[in-house]
Amino acid sequence: QKEVEQNSGPLSVPEGAIASLNCTYSDRGSQSFFWYRQYSGKSPELIMFIYSNGDKEDGRFTAQLNKASQYVSLLIRDSQPSDSATYLCAVNDDYKLSFGAGTTVTVRA
Amino acid sequence: DTGVSQDPRHKITKRGQNVTFRCDPISEHNRLYWYRQTLGQGPEFLTYFQNEAQLEKSRLLSDRFSAERPKGSFSTLEIQRTEQGDSAMYLCASSYPGTSGGGEQYFGPGTRLTVT
């Protein structure tokens, strides 16, 4: 499987702040990039996907992709306690996904 | 669209027993994937189907694991002669062919297996 690295956590941010999550991947040929949110004891939930260089915004989430640097990030604006979870970065490897180990985010009130 | 469903949600078994898990994908999705996740790690790919054809199986997957998708709808994952190292969350996902790669994959709730 392709290597996907995420910045080690845990990441603690105050309520209302921006949480910034980073991910690098090994295969320059990767085409599809995904962010999943996983609450403790639950399965991963797809929250963002991005296929082209640049930014993609959806509500309080922004995904950023830089294929030249093999880097994808997720910004969570106006962080809420409900955003406390583990965020998984995934990259396509043909039709399957290769995942990073995840970054745990805690939003403190 | 009722989402991906998996059954059972939890399974406790004794070492050496066989277990079988079922996954029902989102109805219009023709691709179905099985992953395994252990604590502190991201999901690890096991195998995937396009319709009823099993197109790829992880090289890391023991011969004790087998999966089927007989009519291109639901899938089963069987583990024979379970070992304690098989304890994990088994996740099923499905997707519709996207513009790039395999498309967006949506996960079911998972089956948590504990081997005692």
Question: What pLDDT sits at residue A95?
Answer: 87
d(CA B66, CA B35): 13
Q: Which residue has the higher pLDDT, A56 or A93?
A: A56
The partner residues of B107 in beta bridges, in order of sequence, read B93
- Which chain B residues have any C-beta within 8 angstroms of a chain A C-beta? 31, 33, 35, 40-45, 48, 50, 55-56, 89, 91, 98-102, 104-110
Question: What pLDDT sits at residue B99?
Answer: 53
Average pLDDT over residues A93-103: 93
Tens of pLDDT, residue by residue over B8-55, are 999 999 999 999 999 999 998 999 999 999 999 999 999 999 999 999
Cis ω for the linkage preceding B25 (within 30 of 0): no
Relative to beta strand B111-115, strand B10-13 is parallel
Q: Which residue has the higher pLDDT, B61 or A68?
A: A68
d(CA B11, CA B65): 16
Name, in order, each residue with C-beta under 8 angstroms of B84's C-beta and a sequence gap of 6 or more: B15, B115, B116
Which among B44, B48, B110 has CB closest to A95?
Answer: B48
Residue with tokens 């406390």: A84
* Contact assessment for residue A34 and residue A49, using Cβ atoms and an 8 Å cutoff: yes
Tens of pLDDT, residue by residue over B52-79, are 999 999 988 889 999 999 988 999 999 9
Q: Which of B100, B106, B113 is the mutation pick for testing A, counting most A CBs within 10 A?
A: B100
Report whether pLDDT(A6) > 60.
Answer: yes
pLDDT band at A7 (very low <50, low <70, confident <90, very high): confident
- Which chain A residues have any C-beta within 8 angstroms of a chain B C-beta? 1, 4, 31-32, 34, 36, 42-46, 49, 51, 88, 90, 92-102
Question: What pLDDT sits at residue B100?
Answer: 56
Report whether pLDDT(A49) > 60.
Answer: yes
Residue with tokens 């969570």: A76
Question: What pLDDT sits at residue B1?
Answer: 57
pLDDT band at B89 (very low <50, low <70, confident <90, very high): very high
Report whether pLDDT(A62) > 60.
Answer: yes
d(CA A85, CA A89): 13
* Contact assessment for residue A23 and residue A73, using Cβ atoms and an 8 Å cutoff: yes
